[in-house]
């Protein structure tokens, strides 16, 4: 009945045509057969496609390097911008123009939940770092302390306000569409913000732990494209007909070797290895720790005598980088396969067309989301020192104690030190 009514409605037909024109990234429902005709090596337009893709890649890498140079806060801002674009692309997947016109303000509700989730994810993390930045200003200190204390309540109140807003907008004959949008919005928030919290933590633990995993995904993607472009002939997985074993294996070897070499290059810069304890943008100086201090290794005996070097220096972090490279080359691509299956479920070629030759932002971030979580867990499990230091204790005091509690602690420490000094004499 619903389909018949739409056929008789000219406005509905125009809406359908409009939607069809906008979604130029739509593909036929059937999955192409992996007979080799879909491979890049057999694509007659492959060089034109490669030129467009290369041009976009150069611009993205150049912009990425500039943001890395600017520092931690700018990298975090980049992550937020990418999240907004990803959310927009994912929100639009289940949009229906006809239903949205009957529900004014319903799109705004999705973004209300999005920014509430952003405040919940980043609020406490950033406000705790902000305490270390403005401790000399009493007014700002009290404001930040208040935000830290009540941040969870504020976020809960905002979410409940959105929940009530959703209930009040429920409209007869639109329930199924509205509840599907509600569930879809929460799935997007879970997928986008869970990994992003780990990403921001990696940034402030040291840009190294953000830059290396992100670079490995880029290298793996480029190497897989090039190896598949020139040599790909054996199908890898049906979800991605253009993916080949030649591209997968070539990219894996390239990524693992790159991980070992890049860790040595990145580990030489304090700007990349020092953690950021506040929200300032000044230059960093710190003891990089034993992970970034080269150790001398003698080359094995089977190395030819004519080889000019008899020993080499390797940073301990380079061995850990091999684990990141292995994950980036073998496991992380399954994030791309998942995205491919997801797109086929919605009969889409790409999530969007924001990046020429690449598709949408989500198409570029599928594997990044997977490795960001792994990099955080690996760092916390095998890299981060568990020893307490004076700096770590002071940071905990500044973050978790009020000004009055800090003064009380100072008085008690002074009293203990005076007693110990008196006993020594």
**What DSSP assignment string belongs to 284-338?**
P-----GGGS-EEEEPPTTS-TT-S-SEEEE-HHHHHHHHHHHHHHHTTHHHHHH
> Does a structural domain hold residue 165?
yes
Please give the pLDDT value at position 243. Answer: 85
Q: Are residues 264 and 373 in the same domain?
A: yes
Q: Are residues 368 and 322 in the same domain?
A: yes
Cα angle 298, 301, 305; round to 5: 95
| Number of domains the chain contains | 3
Please give the pLDDT value at position 253. Answer: 96
Which of residues 205, 223, 255 is at a domain's end? 205
**Mind listing the pLDDT tens digit for each residue in 256-288?**
999 999 999 999 999 999 998 877 778 888 888
Range of the domain at 376: 37-60+207-274+317-386
d(CA 112, CA 159): 8
> Does a structural domain hold residue 12?
no
Q: Are residues 197 and 232 in the same domain?
A: no
Q: Are residues 221 and 136 in the same domain?
A: no
Q: Are residues 175 and 216 in the same domain?
A: no
Q: Are residues 171 and 212 in the same domain?
A: no
d(CA 238, CA 292): 42
Q: Are residues 47 and 92 in the same domain?
A: no
Please give the pLDDT value at position 402. Answer: 77
Q: Low-confidence residues of the chain, pLDDT below 50?
A: 1-36
Q: Are residues 380 and 401 in the same domain?
A: no
Q: Are residues 91 and 197 in the same domain?
A: yes
Please give the pLDDT value at position 286. Answer: 87
Q: Are residues 52 and 77 in the same domain?
A: no
């Amino acid at each position: 009945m619903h389909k018949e009514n739409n056929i008789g409605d000219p406005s509905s037909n125009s809406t359908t045509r409009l939607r069809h024109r906008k979604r130029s990234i739509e593909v036929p429902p059937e999955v192409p057969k992996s007979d080799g005709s879909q491979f890049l090596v057999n694509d007659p337009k492959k060089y034109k496609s490669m030129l467009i893709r290369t041009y976009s890649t150069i611009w993205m890498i150049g912009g990425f390097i500039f943001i890395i140079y600017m520092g931690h806060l700018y990298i975090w801002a980049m992550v937020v911008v990418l999240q907004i674009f990803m959310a927009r692309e994912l929100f639009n997947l289940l949009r229906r123009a006809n239903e949205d016109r009957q529900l004014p303000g319903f799109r705004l509700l999705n973004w209300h939940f999005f920014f509430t989730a952003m405040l919940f994810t980043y609020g406490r993390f950033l406000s705790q770092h902000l305490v270390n930045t403005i401790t000399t200003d009493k007014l700002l200190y009290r404001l930040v302390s208040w935000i830290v204390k009540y941040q969870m309540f504020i976020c809960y109140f905002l979410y409940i306000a959105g929940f009530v807003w959703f209930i009040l907008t429920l409209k007869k004959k639109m329930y199924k569409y509205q509840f599907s949008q509600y569930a879809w919005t929460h799935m997007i928030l879970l997928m986008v913000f869970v990994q992003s919290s780990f990403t921001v933590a990696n940034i402030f633990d040291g840009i190294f732990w953000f830059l290396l995993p992100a670079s490995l995904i880029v290298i793996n993607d480029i190497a897989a494209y090039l190896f598949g472009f020139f040599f790909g002939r054996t199908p890898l997985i049906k979800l991605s007909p253009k993916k080949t074993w030649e591209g997968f294996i070539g990219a894996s070897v390239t990524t693992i070797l790159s991980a070992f070499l890049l860790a040595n290059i990145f580990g030489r810069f304090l700007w990349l290895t020092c953690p950021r304890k506040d929200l300032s943008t000044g230059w960093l100086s710190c003891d990089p720790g034993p992970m970034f201090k080269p150790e001398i290794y003698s080359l094995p005996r089977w190395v030819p005598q004519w080889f000019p070097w008899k020993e080499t220096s390797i940073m301990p972090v380079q061995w850990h980088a091999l684990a990141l490279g292995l994950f980036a080359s073998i496991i992380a691509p399954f994030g791309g396969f998942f995205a491919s299956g997801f797109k086929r479920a919605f009969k889409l070629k790409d999530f969007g067309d924001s990046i020429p030759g690449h598709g949408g932002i989500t198409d570029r971030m599928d594997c990044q989301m997977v490795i960001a979580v792994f990099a955080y867990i690996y760092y916390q499990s095998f890299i981060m020192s568990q020893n307490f230091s004076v700096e770590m204790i002071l940071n905990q005091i500044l973050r978790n104690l009020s000004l009055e509690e800090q003064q009380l602690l100072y008085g008690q420490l002074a009293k203990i030190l005076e007693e110990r000094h008196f006993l020594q004499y």
